């Protein structure tokens, strides 16, 4: 039923709307099985964790060999636009990907994205032909500016990375989706299948997550739960929910009950 409903980004078409992170799993076996269970087609990882001299032999990517992914390397660890641009160019030059998740944070406590540096880096990298997916705060104006700067998709955070707090500002996320002409991917801070379904019901085109899967008691089961939540939320969004009302409406007609 969802077969024709595909996610299009940067000239590629995906049947899955799940982007999954590769870090923080208990071991490589569970990482691999969880990623398989997620049926994600887009994989993200920090470039600073990859051996750029021999990306094919890298420990993170090696045991995922044979699985057909689009790689979305990220610039985590960058504190400025210049650093993010340099990291992205290195990843491209080493043949990993010309897709890049711009992730720039200065504040170690919140890891919240720096909006000004993120916009700068997005502008530069989009002009250089990268497929740029910036991780950003959930500000509708900024998300629009990133789209105008050439982002192939925009990725507002639900909450700070790794917190599992869910979508802190559903109102903003609704506005962002309403205004967008590129896919909106909710990235970071999600905790459970409920958060994922909510993001999709608000009209997000997809979800990126790492911690809620990797740190779950059973990451493989959780990866499957998240996949199903994405599909359920997407179907619910497409089907159109009923409007909320203050008072009851009977499910069957009551008019003639008193005369019988």
Ligand X SMILES: CC(=O)[C@@H](O)[C@H](O)COP(=O)(O)O
Binding residue positions for 1-deoxy-D-xylulose 5-phosphate: 162, 188-189, 210-211
CB of 10 to ligand X, least distance (A): 17
CB of 242 to ligand X, least distance (A): 31
Binding to ligand X by CB under 6 A, coded x per residue (else -) over 37-76, reads -------x-----------------------------x-x
Determine the interface stretch with ligand X among 8-16, 139-147, 182-190, 250-258 (rule: CB under 6 A). Answer: 182-190
Active-site annotation holds for 101: yes
Interatomic CA distance for residues 30 and 215, integer angstroms: 11
Q: By rule CB under 6 A, what count of residues binds ligand X?
A: 17
Q: Are 149 and 186 in contact (CB under 8 A)?
A: no
Interatomic CA distance for residues 215 and 225, integer angstroms: 14
What are the binding residues? 162, 188-189, 210-211
Among 121, 188, 204, 226, binds ligand X (CB under 6 A): 188
Interatomic CA distance for residues 206 and 133, integer angstroms: 12
CB of 111 to ligand X, least distance (A): 8
- Helix and strand numbers, DSSP H then E, in the chain: 9, 10
Q: Are 140 and 170 in contact (CB under 8 A)?
A: no
Binding residues for ligand X restricted to 198-227, rule: CB under 6 A: 208-212
Indicate whether 77 belongs to the interface with ligand X (CB under 6 A).
no
Interatomic CA distance for residues 72 and 147, integer angstroms: 18
CB of 248 to ligand X, least distance (A): 39
The residue (of 126 and 167) whose beta carbon lies closer to ligand X is 167
Binding residues for ligand X restricted to 98-137, rule: CB under 6 A: 135
Backbone φ and ψ for 222, nearest 5 degrees, come out as -65, -35
Q: Are 117 and 84 in contact (CB under 8 A)?
A: yes
The residue (of 154 and 161) whose beta carbon lies closer to ligand X is 161
∠ CA 234-175-132, nearest 5°, is 75
Binding residues for ligand X restricted to 133-172, rule: CB under 6 A: 135, 161-162
Residue tagged active-site, from 92, 101, 120, 227: 101
Backbone φ and ψ for 218, nearest 5 degrees, come out as -125, 90
**DSSP for 192-225, written as a single string:** SHHHHHHHHHTT-SEEEESHHHHTSSSHHHHHHH
Tokens 């032909």 appear where? Answer: 129
CB of 240 to ligand X, least distance (A): 28
Indicate whether 16 belongs to the interface with ligand X (CB under 6 A).
no
Tokens 């569970």 appear where? Answer: 30
Interface residues with ligand X (CB under 6 A) are 21, 23, 44, 74, 76, 135, 161-162, 187-190, 208-212
Residues noted as catalytic: 101
């Amino acid at each position: 039923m969802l077969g024709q409903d595909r996610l299009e980004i940067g000239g590629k078409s995906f049947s899955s709307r799940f982007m999954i992170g590769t870090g923080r799993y208990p071991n490589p076996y569970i990482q691999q099985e969880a990623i398989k269970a997620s049926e994600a087609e887009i994989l993200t990882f920090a470039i600073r964790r990859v051996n750029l001299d021999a990306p094919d032999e890298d420990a993170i990517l090696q045991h995922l060999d044979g699985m057909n992914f689009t790689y979305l390397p990220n610039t985590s660890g960058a504190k400025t636009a210049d650093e993010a641009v340099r990291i992205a160019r290195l990843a491209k030059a080493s043949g990993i990907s010309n897709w890049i998740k711009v992730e720039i944070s200065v504040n170690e406590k919140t890891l919240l994205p720096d909006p000004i540096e993120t916009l700068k880096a997005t502008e530069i990298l989009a002009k250089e032909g990268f497929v740029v997916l910036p991780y950003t705060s959930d500000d509708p104006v900024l998300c629009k500016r990133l789209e105008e700067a050439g982002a192939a998709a925009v990725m507002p955070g639900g909450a700070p990375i790794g917190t599992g707090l869910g979508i802190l500002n559903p109102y903003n996320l609704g506005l962002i989706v309403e205004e967008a002409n590129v896919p909106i991917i909710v990235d970071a801070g999600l905790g459970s299948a409920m958060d994922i379904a909510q993001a999709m019901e608000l009209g997000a085109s997809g979800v990126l997550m790492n911690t809620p899967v990797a740190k779950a008691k059973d990451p493989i089961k959780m990866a499957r739960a998240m996949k199903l939540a994405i599909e359920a939320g997407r179907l619910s969004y497409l089907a159109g929910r009923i409007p909320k009302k203050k008072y009851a409406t009977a499910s069957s007609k009551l008019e003639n009950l008193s005369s019988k």
